[in-house]
């Protein structure tokens, strides 16, 4: 019976496309001819079926309902398509700072985690000071519980002098660019904080094992290798905090990119800055 329903659905789709201009309820008529209604099209599984995988991990929140109402797949896809058309349209993307942010939320997070609100990424303002980039990077070190100043024999060490290195490398940047970059660094630091919160309950050993996996795509098609650490991490990870971190990264990067466009001509052609931090 289930095979018949699947075959019938394919026939219905073809028939619906063929008679799209007809005002009649072609779908209803075809279903009626074979003794079915729209309610019969879904795949409503039962818990008492033998060997049916009831507890399937990692499936989307929309999967079960779309499985039961396959005709809703069209509406589901149309909504996602509308989002893409709106926020990737040059009329929007060239004039707003939140296109990628809204794409990430509507096509990714909202489809994975229902109920997560996207009113704002709550971006932090740039730090105030003579060199805001230096202050921003110092916050990055502080988050990792690292210092930027070192003392020995009761005096401040001459090396390494991270603040002096930053000031020397950024001295030729306009103040406007320093403010934009410092704001980006501050908000990426905030995103790292939320990322760390997301993994706070995960086992460190499991995390290290997951980071060195290099053959996941090649080994999971036929289940040749099982990595239990991935399942263990999935159980303990704080998904909302991880999504919040992702929204912050996208929002901060998009705002910085849009703001820097106006000052590209003021940045020296030979400007290059490389600094090792606790996070890369």
For residue range 27-45, list pLDDT tens digits in order.
Answer: 888 888 888 888 888 888 8
pLDDT value of residue 206: 97
Q: Tell me the β-bridge partners of 152.
A: 155
Torsion of CA 29, 32, 38, 43, to 10 degrees: -130
For residue range 78-131, list pLDDT tens digits in order.
Answer: 999 999 999 999 999 888 889 999 999 999 999 887 778 888 999 999 999 889
Rg (CA), the chain: 27
Reply yes or no on whether the pLDDT at 145 is more than 80.
yes
- pLDDT higher at 58 or 209: 209
Reply yes or no on whether the pLDDT at 57 is more than 60.
yes
pLDDT value of residue 150: 83
Summarize the confidence of residues 241-264 as an average pLDDT. 94
Q: How confident is the prediction for the chain on average, in pLDDT?
A: 88
Question: Are 141 and 277 contacting, i.e. CB atoms less than 8 angstroms apart?
Answer: yes
Residue 252 banded pLDDT, cuts 50, 70, 90: very high
> What is the rounded distance in angstroms from the CA atom of residue 209 to the CA atom of residue 11?
48
Residue tagged 């809703």 (tokens): 72
- From the list 210, 244, 230, the residue with the least C-alpha distance to 108 is 244
Question: Are 198 and 238 contacting, i.e. CB atoms less than 8 angstroms apart?
Answer: yes
């Amino acid at each position: 019976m289930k095979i018949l329903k699947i075959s019938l659905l394919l026939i219905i789709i073809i028939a619906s496309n063929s008679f799209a201009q007809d005002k009649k309820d072609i779908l209803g008529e075809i279903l009626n001819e074979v003794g079915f209604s729209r309610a019969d099209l879904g795949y409503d599984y039962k818990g008492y079926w033998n060997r049916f995988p009831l507890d399937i991990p990692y499936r989307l929140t929309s999967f079960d309902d779309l499985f039961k109402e396959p005709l809703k797949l069209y509406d589901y896809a149309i909504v996602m398509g509308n989002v893409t058309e709106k926020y990737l349209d040059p009329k929007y993307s060239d004039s707003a700072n939140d296109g990628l942010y809204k794409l990430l939320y509507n096509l990714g997070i909202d489809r994975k985690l229902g109920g997560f609100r996207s009113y704002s990424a709550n971006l932090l303002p740039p730090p105030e000071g003579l060199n805001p980039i230096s202050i921003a990077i110092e916050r990055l070190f502080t988050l990792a519980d690292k210092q930027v100043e070192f003392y020995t024999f009761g005096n401040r060490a001459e090396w390494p002098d991270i603040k002096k290195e930053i000031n020397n490398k950024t001295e030729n940047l306009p103040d406007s660019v320093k403010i934009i970059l410092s704001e980006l660094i501050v908000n990426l630091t905030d995103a790292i904080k939320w990322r760390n919160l997301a993994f706070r309950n995960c086992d460190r050993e499991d995390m290290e094992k997951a980071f060195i996996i290099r053959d996941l795509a090649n080994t999971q098609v036929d289940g040749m290798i099982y990595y239990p650490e991935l399942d263990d991490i999935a159980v303990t990870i704080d998904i909302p905090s991880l999504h919040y971190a992702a929204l912050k990264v996208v929002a901060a990067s998009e705002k910085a990119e849009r703001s820097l466009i106006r000052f590209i001509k003021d940045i020296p052609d030979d400007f290059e800055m490389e600094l090792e931090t606790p996070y890369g």
